[in-house]
């Protein structure tokens, strides 16, 4: 591979790394062409970009971006595929779903926002991470719940009060 080609790959990877706050490094070695195609299609359908590149080029792209990726360099061994995502838990869910029919891909490492996760044993933890939007939705739901209780109490109390007034007014003096 020519130096210009390598530099183009590094630049492309660096641009993608800058664009996405989350990425997973996986081992896809040994997957058949059919399974690789299925994995790529699953990633595409879930909004995840998947790229395969040499570890040295991935490392140089991370160094070019320079955002504290040193901790994940240990995961860059063997064959590596990178899964980029806007949401931190989506690639983990894809890997878990795909593993129902295959023993790969294996999680080597993940960079979520600013946290680094190394090893396949982190997959369940990563799948349970909630996205920002899910957390915001939960907080809003929790904040709205007391207000709903007050409103429903006032509405039901108003109905009771109206019923009492009506009963009292219909009673003979």
Splitting the chain (173 residues) into consecutive groups of 10 residues, what average pLDDT does each group show?
86 90 90 90 92 90 86 87 90 90 88 87 85 79 70 62 69 69
Q: Using one digit for the tens of pLDDT, what is the confidence trace for 85-135?
A: 988 889 999 999 998 888 888 999 999 888 888 888 888 888 888 777 777
Three-class SS of the chain: CCHHHHHHHHHHHHHHHHHCCEEEEEECCCCCHHHHHHHHHHHHHCCCEEEECCHHHHHHHHHHHCCCCHHHHHHCCCCCEEEEECCCCHHHHHHHHHCCCCCCCEEEEEEECCEEEECHHHHHHHHHCCCHHHHHHHHHHHHHHHHHHHHHHHHHHHHHHHHHHHHHHHCCC
Percentage of the chain exceeding pLDDT 70: 87
Torsions phi, psi for 68 (to 5 deg): 80, 40
Residue 142 confidence (pLDDT):
74
């Amino acid at each position: 591979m020519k130096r210009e080609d390598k530099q183009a790959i590094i630049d492309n990877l660096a641009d993608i790394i800058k664009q996405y706050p989350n990425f997973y490094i996986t081992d896809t070695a040994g997957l058949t062409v059919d399974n690789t195609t299925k994995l790529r299609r699953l990633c595409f359908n879930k909004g995840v970009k998947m790229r395969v590149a040499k570890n040295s080029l991935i490392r140089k792209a991370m160094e070019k971006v320079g955002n504290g990726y040193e901790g994940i360099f240990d995961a860059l061994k063997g064959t590596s595929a990178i899964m980029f995502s806007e949401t931190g838990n989506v690639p983990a869910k894809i890997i878990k779903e795909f593993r129902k029919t295959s023993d790969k891909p294996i999680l080597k490492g993940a960079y979520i926002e600013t946290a680094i996760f190394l090893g396949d044993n982190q997959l369940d933890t990563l799948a349970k991470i909630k996205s920002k939007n899910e957390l915001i939705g939960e907080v809003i739901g929790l904040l709205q719940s007391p207000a709903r209780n007050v409103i429903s109490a006032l509405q039901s109390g108003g109905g009771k009060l109206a019923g009492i007034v009506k009963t009292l007014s219909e009673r003979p003096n």
